[in-house]
Amino acid sequence: MTMLKVDNLSVHYGVIQAVKEVSFEVNEGEVVSLIGANGAGKTSILRTISGLVRPSSGTIQFLGKDIHKAPARKIVASGLSQVPEGRHVFPGLTVLENLEMGAFLRNNREENQQNLKKVFSRFPRLEERKNQDAATLSGGEQQMLAMGRALMSQPQLLLLDEPSMGLAPIFIQEIFDIIEDIKKQGTTVLLIEQNANKALSIADRGYVLETGKLVLSGTGQELLASDEVRKAYLGG
């Protein structure tokens, strides 16, 4: 089943066109990766899907319903959550309070407690540090917190924007292991990532963006084997 359908999406910032008639789909149960250099339009696409930016033209459908004109709050309530680039945890709030912020649209206290247990099971470090100020966590721990906060809303589709950015290698591998586990547990993932090798290695399918346009698509393994991708993104 097609979960997310982006059709002829264009995004402008003033006179600058960041995304140029991009079309792609994400099917239920997949990890789909968008790769490309800085400025290729990856983050603009995610922010538009999430309702934080309005498209200049084109449509976005989530679970068969148009969402490109919907406010971000309603998009989250419909089952779509984004982990932003740079993590953006709430300083001055504890780890636990940050996680509770992820469930602010959910009024079922019992379900929220069950979701919290699942997050702590997936991220044991967060439970160990649940009363610690989120701003004092390491970069890798903050990334785990941002992912756990998004999972508290029980999303059907999780948008991840550069989850490995700025992390030590040991945390990078752990984050990608967690993404694979999230997929196994039934959450569909749209992954934006500069680490093309890691992203395509776990992706069912991928798309390559250059200066706002989609230039290549295929399975993760097909793109890893592509001469064009190897030369541009894998140092081949």
The answer to whether 44 and 2 are in contact (CB under 8 A) is no
Helices (H) and strands (E) in the chain, counts: 10, 10
Q: Which amino acid is at 68?
A: H
The per-residue pLDDT for 148 is 95
**What six digits make up the tokens of 211?**
């200066």
135 pLDDT higher than 70: yes
Report the alpha-carbon distance of residue 236 to residue 196 in Å, rounded.
12
The per-residue pLDDT for 236 is 52
Is pLDDT larger for residue 3 or for residue 231?
3
Maximal C-alpha separation, the chain: 51
**What six digits make up the tokens of 54?**
């309005």
Question: DSSP E strands: which ranges in the chain?
Answer: 2-13, 16-27, 31-35, 57-62, 65-66, 80-83, 157-161, 188-192, 205-210, 213-219
pTM of the model: 0.92
- For the chain, list the domains and their CATH numbers: 2-90+159-233 (3.40.50.300)
* Structure confidence by residue, pLDDT tens digits, 157-216: 999 999 988 888 888 888 999 999 999 999 999 999 888 999 999 999 999 999 999 999
